[in-house]
Every structure is written in C-alpha cells, then in structure tokens.
Chains A and B, each alone.
Chain A
Amino acid sequence: MTMEEGNVAAGKRKRNIGKKKGNKTKNKKLKMLEGKGKKLRVSKKMRNLFEKRARDYNSDDDEEEEERKEKENTEAAATRRGGGGDNSSEGREEEEGGEIQPGVMKFTEGVRAFRVAFKNIIKRNIANDSLGPVLSGHKQLIAKKLAEEEAERKVKGEAKKEKHLVAEKGHVKPANYLDSHEKFLIGIATKGVVKLFNAVNKAQKAQKGLDPSRSKDAKMIRKRSKEAFFSELGKTSFPVQNSSSKDNTSCDPSNDEGPAWAPLRDNYMLTNPKLKDWDKMADSAIVDDVGRMSEDSGSDDD
C-alpha cells in the first residue's frame, strides 16, 4: 500500500512539474487575451487544459472517453459547484499556475474531474479483494510479500516456542495442592514447630515469675542457663553423630553414648566418681520446677 501511494504521489509530482511548464506558456497567452471577451476563450482553452489534467489524473485510459463525454454533458449544468471539499485540486491549480486565475468554470471543471476520478476509485474498491486498493501491476508483488511475511512469522513462532520450552524446563506447576507427599512434608514441619513451641513454652514459663532486674532472680536465671548449657553439651556432639534436639524434650535413643570428643564428656579427667554430677548438686537448693528441669538433663546425661 505504501509503495503504491508513494508511486502515485511521485507520479503526481511528476505530473505537476510537467503541468507547471505547460501552464506558464498558457498563462502568457491568457494575459494577452485578458482585455477582450476573454471568458469564452479562456473557458475553452481552460477546458482543454482541464480535460488533459483529468485524463492524467485518472490512471486508466478506459475512463478517458467517458470522462470527456461527461464533461461536455455536464459542463453547461456545472456553473457553480459547491467547491467545499475540493481544496486539493484548487491548491494544485494555484500551485501550478503561480497566479490566482479567476474563473468559476475552471474551478468547477476541476471539481468535476476530481469527482469523476474519485468515483472511479470508489467503484473499484468495492470489487476489490483483501489486498486493498492496489494498482493492478503491483498486485502479485504484494501478494508475494504478504505470503513471505506469514512464512517468516511462522518460523519465528516455532523458534520462540522452542526457546520457551527450554526456559521452562524444570518449572512445574503444582496440579492439585495436597497430595500425599506434600502432606507428609507438612507433617514433618508441623512436628518440628510443635517441638519448638513446647520447648519455648517450657523455658519461658519457668522464667515467667522471674524478673531480670532483681539480683536474686538474675542469679537464678544464670543458673538455669548454665544447666541448659551443660545439657546442651551433653546432647550436642559433632554433626558427625547426630543433630541436636531440644534440651527439654526427650532425646533420641541413639544419643546415649554421649559426645565423641573426650573433653566434652562429663567424666573427663574425673578422679572422684562421686563428683560426676556436681552441677546438679549445686542446684538442689533451688525451687521445684528447676529441679524438674535438672532431672531431665540428668536423665539425658546418663
């Protein structure tokens, strides 16, 4: 379409240039004739000029004769046509002439010519197929181009699809939310959370009544944390053996042998076996719930 338009525009320009040249000579003649009864003569010559222009304006030669006949028929009737929508032809005339030439007939001739040409184009458009208003010579070319474009698009589409597949590799959209494996995993996680929350509750409950500002209580807090420290030592060995569990929950049966590294064991370099649980003895004077905690850690160590 653009090609065709460009061509048409170029053609118009060419025609315009040609007409300018022609006009100049005619203008001279007209000026000479101005003094006399110029209207008739002017109109005749101008009529020829208009016919010529109209002929060139129409691309098909078939329409020429029709046009001429039409013009002759309607010339008389076409005294003053509403030249509202005819700025283009008017402008063209002005451009070509270089001077504004008065004459109603000229204008209406131009109007009529334009009208005829436009009608022909519109008529042709109705009969046209999907390619649109195309000059006959270019139809095949444009059809070929469109076919090429479609083929290109197809190829590109396929390449894109392949790329997309490679990009999405491994991306799995979960079909239904809860299948058995997921439920199993959620169960494990829930158990962990429950363990943790229970441990936190126990630890914090024991500390609930105590206020860190009071020195006595601060001592108690320190002692308890020391217990937790030692009990933690008792259970948590290297990651080689086992991973740790919480200090207050029951330990796993595989934990019983104690830490692998000798200095961590409770009976390291212990000469007097009675002193094995020295930290437990120190805490025996403390309140009951703490005693309960020490029992737990004691069982862990043994």
Chain B
Amino acid sequence: MARFRNRKTKVFVKPIVKKNQQQQSNVDHITGNKIPKSFVFSRGKLPGPIRQLQMDLRKLMLPYTALNLKEKKRNNLKDFLNVAGPMGVTHFLILSKTESSPFLRVAKTPQGPTLTFKIHEYSLAVDIAQSQLRPRCPQDLLKNPPLIVLSGFAAGNEHLKLTTTMFKNIFPDIDINTVKLSSCQRIVLLNYNKDTQLIDFRHYSIRLQPVGVSRRIRKFVQNHQVPDLRNLQDVSDFVTKAGYVSESEADEEAATVTLISDLSRVNRASTKSAVKLQEIGPRMTLQLTKIEGGLCSGEVMFSEYGNGGNKKKPDSEKGTEKEDDDNDDEIGDSDEDNEREDNEEEDEED
C-alpha cells in the first residue's frame, strides 16, 4: 500500500503526507470498521482568516486527514474524488466564502449527502490562545482522534438526525473495552440550540487533575519548583495549611472520575481525579442551511430558505437510497462494542 500511495501523486492535486508518518490503516484493527478519513479544503480563493480556519480544522481532524494538502485553482471536485478513492478518504470538509458569510460543507464520498452550514461566527485557535491566561498545547495532543459529544439534537427533526449521523461517522469509533484513557485527549462538542437553531462547535483538550490534594502540594509535585519555606516554622505547616479554595474546585465534585490505571505520575489508579477541559482550536457557530442528496449536487432535501433549488436528477433516488443505507449501517455499527459519545440534555432542565 505504501508503493501505491507514492505512485498516485497526481500532477495538480498533491496530498503531501509527512515522510516519517506510518502508513495509516484503512481498517481499525480493533473494531474491524473502516476508519473514516477526511480532506479539508476550500473552493475558490479565500481571504486570510478563513485560510487559517481551514488549517485549524485540519489540525482538528488529525491524525486521519491530510495536513499538507495542496490544491490548485483548476482542481475540481472530481479531482479530489479521484484521489479520495484509493486513499480511503470518506469525508470532505469544504470551506467557501460568499459576500455574506463563509460556508462549510460536510460531504460523504463518493455519493453521499452534503450538508451545508452557514458560519455565523468563528474564532481562530490563535485568538482563543490569546484570550486565555495559560494556553495549553501538549505535544502529542493531535496524535489521537478526538471524542465527539452531541447535545441538544434529539428534539429536532430528521435533518438534525442526519447531521448527528454524519458527524458521528466523521470521527473514528472507540471501543470501550480496549480504549486507553490516555489516548483520549481531545473532545469536540456540538451543541444545538433549539431557539436560535444554531449549532455551537467547540474543541477542547482534556486534562486530568488529582483531586483531594491541596493546591500547593499538587503544584509542587507537578512543577518541581522548590517552594518558599521562609515564613514557615515547620514543614508540616506547608503540608497542612488550608490554602484558599478556588471556585473551580467546587465544580470538580461533579467531574471526578476514578481511574483504572496509572495515567501519569500524579494520576494514579483508584484515586479520584477531576476532569478539566480547556478550549483549544477553532470555535464556530453554524446554521444548517441545505442538505443535498448527492455530493454537492442532487436533490435538495432540506433548505432553510424554502425550496429554492429543487433539481430533480435521475440519480436522486440513488442518493436517497444511499442515505437510508447509511442509517442502516449506523445501526449495524452500534451492535458491536463500539461506543460513541452522546448526551441528552433535553429533559435536564425540566
């Protein structure tokens, strides 16, 4: 397969993969399912910040995406399709910009449905890092695929169901029996707001912090900085002094987990640790505007602005059939030991 990949470099579309990266398997050896891979690219010339957004999205989709994908002006969608087949790419994320606002299209290859989202607002990863006091980016953060949490989608109608299906399929599944908690380091959250019909898209990094330990001792152990004992009479003062309790520690109560194995020096097995999230990566506010049956073509199944473009094509039926197959596959997938993250918040507030 490595030979195949090297030979397949086309003239104009060159997905350049890092040389020392191992050949990615198409099939997950644990679950036996196909690992979804994606391309993130843009149609048309994009102004500066949107190009950065595209780069951020690529980093988000790592490791199963082409980080250094280069595209030329004259590349059509067909070119990408042709390359996608042999490389096992299953999803396209396409960014484009009109005068009003940027758009994001999520499409499943080769004939899958296309969801068009209008991006109302977005923030780049660098903006978020600048707004934080202590931005975190550990080195191997992007080595493992992220988890995904969808919330607020249940109340919606079929279009939202398709959205959830699509997003669930973009990220690879995790098997709860064999997954290592140390490899779950990122999480993508999609929250649907019924009132405004907007979807919030966030990207966090997960951090575990031992709980029940006073702040000073924890900092001392983690940072290896020799504390200042000038004003203390005895070491016991340092250890037992009741330091101030920060506001976030109260929230930690609900977020404690008991670990099953040693994750790091401080997070040991069968001790309680708190889960702390810190935002990295881009932040987007999306609105679903259109669903098409084919890959950026085909019958328009849902449109925010009424039935503007109802193109009846001969393969439209095939398109809808494909969608049904997708749904059936979804059921089939969940029969195994797979687990996908879902959260239901609809009845919480009642």
Contacts and interface: CB of A to CB of B under 8 A. Distances in A.
Interface of A: 163, 166-177, 182, 185-201, 203-205, 207-208, 225, 228-229, 232-233, 236, 238-240, 242-247, 252-254
A289 to B, nearest CB: 14
Contacts of A192: 147, 149, 151, 187, 189, 341, 343
A192 to B, nearest CB: 4
A190 B255 contact: yes
Interface residues of B, number: 71
A177 B131 contact: yes
A168 B49 contact: yes
Contacts of B200: 185
B120 interface: yes
Specify which of A171, A229, A254 lies most central, judged by the most chain B CB atoms within 10 Å of its CB: A171
B330 A170 contact: no
Given A185-B191, A188-B149, A225-B177, A196 B184 contact: yes
Given A171-B123, A172-B123, A173-B131, A201 B187 contact: no
B150 A243 contact: yes
B17 interface: no
B161 A174 contact: no
Interface stretch (B77-85, B230-238, B256-264): B256-264
A207 B177 contact: yes
A243 B120 contact: no
A188 B189 contact: yes
- Chain A contact surface mostly: helix
Interface of B: 47-50, 99-102, 119-124, 127-128, 130-133, 147, 149-151, 153-154, 158, 161, 164-165, 176-177, 179, 181, 184, 187, 189, 191, 200, 202, 204, 206, 251, 254-261, 275-277, 279, 283, 327, 330-331, 334-337, 339-345, 347
A189 B260 contact: no
Contacts of B99: 166
A170 B119 contact: yes
Contacts of B330: 239
Given A168-B47, A172-B122, 12 more contacts: A171-B121, A174-B128, A192-B343, A196-B341, A197-B257, A200-B181, A229-B336, A236-B334, A239-B327, A243-B150, A243-B154, A247-B339
B102 to A, nearest CB: 6
B283 A174 contact: yes
B204 A189 contact: yes
